[in-house]
Amino acid sequence: MDSIFEGSKPSASGFFPGTIKQCNPELDIFIQQTMTPESVEYLPPAVKPGAPGQVLETDRPYITSKVIYGFPDTAIQNYSKNCDLIVMGTTGGGTLTHKLFGSVSMEVSKNAQAPVLFVPPGISYQGFPNMLYASNFESLDSLRIQQAISFARRFDSQIHFVHIGPPGEKGLAMERKLFEANYQESEPDKPFIFTKMVSDDIADPLYEYAFYHRIGLLVFVTHQRSFWENFLHKSITREVLSSSALPVLVIHSDSDMI
């Protein structure tokens, strides 16, 4: 909740009257209305599972809510230290980068202390039968590969390791061997798939591969906090980015996944 602040810095004088009392009930109503079509019961924070008159059903999802005060990108980044996974929408305005991820999502993707799953608007969940792991030496981290495989196993997914680079690129054979070795060490349920695509661009061949192989999720691992600025360089067309309807999972090399 950031509209409670006035000016460039938070201060006690920036609180709107009644904001604290209004936020939690409004959030509860929103969640209840959202979950009802999904046949998921939502218990407001005041009603704890197992309380008198409540039956705790362990096979049903349990949802909690919390209002965090502050500027969204900073507040979510700070809260991410307590999270295993962050899920965010990608709707935003402004520049091309912001149109794809949203200004808040963009900042969280660079600085969050947990993996971030970005979900595009209007998408319906169809499972992740195939996942595309954008591979390069930067993403060749045995722990991240193990985590990605563990994540894929939850959805019975096949991981496609896809490398995109210029013609005559050196070191690709070594990269493939190392990826395969790390993959096998993780005891995957699906066979190893590694594909090299020749291109000076990144987005076009990724989305082309995703289309023809029915990819349901794009996975990126990076050490660099400026990764998305490099990925969304000016040569990538607006049409390609705006037409992408795939969720994206970002894993930083210094963040952990279950």
> Which pTM value belongs to this model?
0.76
pLDDT higher than 60, residue 255: no
pLDDT, residue 36, reads: 84
pLDDT at 206: 84
Beta bridge partners of 162: 134, 195
Q: What is the pLDDT of residues 49-75, one digit of tens each?
A: 555 445 555 555 677 788 887 788 888
- pLDDT for 226 equals 54
Mean pLDDT highest for which of 9-13, 17-21, 247-251, 254-258? Answer: 247-251
Residue 116, pLDDT above cutoff 80: yes
For 179-234, the pLDDT digits (tens) are 999 999 998 999 999 999 888 777 778 888 998 999 999 888 766 555 555 555 43
Does residue 32 have a pLDDT over 70?
Answer: yes
Distance between CA atoms of residues 162 and 98, nearest Å? 25
Q: State residue 124 phi and psi, 5-degree precision.
A: -115, 140
Element (DSSP H or E) covering residue 163: strand 158-165
In the chain, the domains with their CATH numbers are 1-70 (no CATH), 73-258 (3.40.50.12370)
Residue 96 reports pLDDT greater than 50: no
| Closest C-alpha among 161, 151, 152, 154 to residue 181 | 161
Q: What is the mean pLDDT of residues 77-104?
A: 70
pLDDT digits (tens, 9 = 90+) for 152-172: 999 999 999 998 888 888 888
- Reply yes or no on whether the pLDDT at 112 is more than 60: yes
Contact 236, 164 (CB under 8 A): no
**Does the pLDDT of residue 178 top 70, yes or no?**
yes
Helices (H), the chain: 19-35, 72-79, 96-101, 103-111, 142-154, 172-185, 203-212, 227-231, 238-243
Report the percentage of the chain scoring pLDDT > 90.
16
